[in-house]
Amino acid sequence: MASVVEVEGLTKIYRSFLGGTGVRALNELNLQVEEGETFGLVGPNGSGKTTCLKLLLGLIYPTAGRARLFGRKVGDMRVKQLIGYMPEAPYFYDYLTGEQLLRYFAQFFNLSKAQRKARIEDLLNLVGMWERRHMLLRHYSRGMLQRIGLAQALLNEPQLLILDEPTSGLDPVGAYQIRSLITELQRRGATILLCSHLLNEVEALCDRVGVLYRGNLKACGTLEQLLPPPSEVVILAEGLDAPAVARLEQLGAAALPADGMLRITAPVGKSEQVLAAVHSDGGKLHEVRRPRPTLEDVFMHMIREEAE
Amino acid sequence: MRSIFVIARNTVSDALSRIVLQIILVFGIMFLIIGFFFTFMTPGEEDKMLKDLGISAITVFGLLLAIYMGISLIQPEVERRTIYALLAKPVRRLEFMLGKYLGAIAVLALSVAVMGIVLVGALYVKQAVWSPSLLIGLVGIFFALMIMTALVMMLSTFASSLMATFGGFLFWAIGYSQPFIKQLADHAENPVSRGLLLVLHEVLPKFTNLDLRLAVVDGTPIPVQLLAKMAAYGLGYTVVVIAVAGILFNEREM
């Protein structure tokens, strides 16, 4: 079966009116998003994430390469019936109320009047905006606009949901609520393409991740593929004297004082020996854990490598 | 087709909620009312002055409305990024543009109608003689405004709002100076200048074809054939401009 999103050699160069070499915003991007998965596109500002989304939505045209959604050309009206898009920091017609905006957008889909009414009611409840549905958008907070932005993206019960920085600029409560909504949509089987620079969010929500940097896809895969296994063990202990610490250091561990205790870091391969040494020297164990590198660690490592 | 209608309706709501548009319209109406009290300056020809002043006021305030509507249709949607969510829906760019244009035209028709009713009311109070030629004159103004809005909208598909406004006034000035431009072309000795002036004369709108102010003021009967010609010219020119605007807008990157 064809992928929901297929991108092959997609390149975008922004040229000025006078020509010149221009800015290469996206460079020969290849990626697929499969049905039912949540794919995260991460990267710092200016890495080409929004350019990629704009190309998929037909808002801009590629310099080279091609993009297809549901096996059809980008911009095909049959495709647009199947997708939902939530722009970054949504801007809508501020002279409309939340409900009027949804009513306006709903008219572009093949829905009867009764279906539109029911769908709008459901969505306003889903995003928690039912009580504020008669309020003008110009009086909405950023979080409320994000919620209405998500609601308008869901009007057609899309098979592919494209989210551009869905929690950007929200307070922790607002961000949590939007993430919960996305989780609920995942549970319902939606295919989601999520663009974000919030790596913890992507790590929490996405099945696969693509890392964009300066227009190039630096890595792409599942979190298991991208995140290396834990390389060290962290032990919190107390009651160890200086000779005991010296013995730990001889085993390859590093010990630093932390909150009245010792924070001992040891390579995974030496963990059993280090634990045995702590025990034999009369140390009292408080915590032992094997922290896995986060997407942020991997991402920062890639960026540093690129800079060097 | 449905999308065009939906966008047109939203454009009308948007326009009517805009304070600038309301101010222009109110000033237009105020100008007509003030003109009514100054007809004493032309004793014996009050009705002529009232018609002249009225048609001129409707033309000028209509022009301001047309330019304002023209620049408000596309560029602000792109600048405010409201167009992103809309074009992600099953809406073609051409449908978006046509919907916006038809909405603007509906607002202009309403504005010309309101100012026209005020003028007719003033003539009625003055017990002045008025003929159906006044109505045809208003239709001529409306066709000119249709063309103007299309031209400014076409400019705003690639230029800034400021440039489109400037271009709009330039088109308006040239459109009302076409006989003068033709004369210049006829008398130009330099073939390049002559060619350039002839191109301007042929390509740019001839608002003089739609200007019936003198006939309205004098109360001269206007043949129905002229109305048909005006309609053909106004609609034909508009369709061509919209087609060019559609091609430009389709190529535009958001």
**Chain A residues with beta carbon closer than 8 angstroms to that of B3:** 107-108
Q: For B140-154, what is each residue's pLDDT tens digit?
A: 999 999 999 999 999
Which pLDDT does position B110 carry in this prediction? 95
Task: Please give the Cα distance from A241 to A86 (Å, whole number).
Answer: 58
Run of H or E including A285: strand A284-289
Q: What is the mean pLDDT of residues A72-93?
A: 89
**Chain A residues with beta carbon closer than 8 angstroms to that of B6:** 104, 107-108
B90 closest CB neighbour out of A59, A60, A81: A81
Which pLDDT does position B11 carry in this prediction? 94
List beta partners, residue A11.
A64
Q: Do A60 and B254 touch (CB under 8 A)?
A: yes
Mean pLDDT score across all residues of chain A: 89
Task: Please give the Cα distance from B28 to B59 (Å, whole number).
Answer: 10
Q: For A237-247, what is each residue's pLDDT tens digit?
A: 888 888 888 88
Task: Please give the Cα distance from A29 to A6 (Å, whole number).
Answer: 10
Say how many CB pairs under 8 Å bridge A and B: 61
Q: For A277-303, what is each residue's pLDDT tens digit?
A: 888 888 888 888 888 778 888 888 877
Q: Taking the mean position of all CA atoms in its chain, how far away is CA A136?
A: 30
**Chain B residues with beta carbon closer than 8 angstroms to that of A17:** none
Output the pTM of the full model: 0.85
Mutation site for B-interface testing, chosen from A14, A78, A104, A193 by largest number of B Cβ within 10 Å? A104
Which pLDDT does position A30 carry in this prediction? 95
Q: Do B151 and B241 touch, CB atoms closer than 8 A?
A: yes
Task: Please give the Cα distance from B145 to B106 (Å, whole number).
Answer: 11
Q: Most confidently modeled of A200-209, A261-270, B233-242?
A: B233-242
Query: What single-letter amino acid sits at A22?
Result: G
Run of H or E including A8: strand A5-16
Q: What is the mean pLDDT of residues A133-150?
A: 91
Q: Where are the domains of chain B?
A: 2-251
A188: helix, strand or coil? coil
Run of H or E including A286: strand A284-289
pLDDT of A147 over the 70 cut: yes
pLDDT of A16 over the 80 cut: no
B3 closest CB neighbour out of A57, A60, A108: A108
> What percent of chain A has pLDDT above 70?
98
Q: For B102-137, what is each residue's pLDDT tens digit?
A: 999 999 999 999 999 998 888 888 776 667 788 888
Pull the structure tokens for residue A190.
Answer: 């939606």
Which pLDDT does position A224 carry in this prediction? 84
Residue, of B46 and B18, whose pLDDT is higher: B18
Which pLDDT does position B130 carry in this prediction? 65
Q: Do B84 and A58 touch (CB under 8 A)?
A: no
CA dihedral A92, B242, B144, B155 (to 10 degrees): 60
Q: For B194-213, what is each residue's pLDDT tens digit?
A: 999 999 899 999 998 888 88
pLDDT of B90 over the 90 cut: yes
Q: Which residues of B62-94 are buried (b: 16+ CB within 10 A; e: fewer)?
A: bbbbbbbbbbbbbbebbeebbbbbbbbbbbbbb
Q: Do A105 and B92 touch (CB under 8 A)?
A: no
Task: Please give the Cα distance from B158 to B167 (Å, whole number).
Answer: 12
B253 closest CB neighbour out of A60, A152, A162: A60
Task: Please give the Cα distance from B97 to B91 (Å, whole number).
Answer: 10
pLDDT of A59 over the 90 cut: yes
The ipTM, to two decimals, is: 0.85
**DSSP label at A23?**
E
How close, in Å, is residue B245 to chain A by CA atoms? 17
Sheet holding A254-258, edge to edge: A254-258, A261-267, A232-238, A284-289
Q: Do B123 and B52 touch, CB atoms closer than 8 A?
A: no
Task: Please give the Cα distance from A66 to B74 (Å, whole number).
Answer: 27
Task: Please give the Cα distance from A92 to B20 (Å, whole number).
Answer: 20
Q: What is the mean pLDDT of residues A27-56?
A: 92
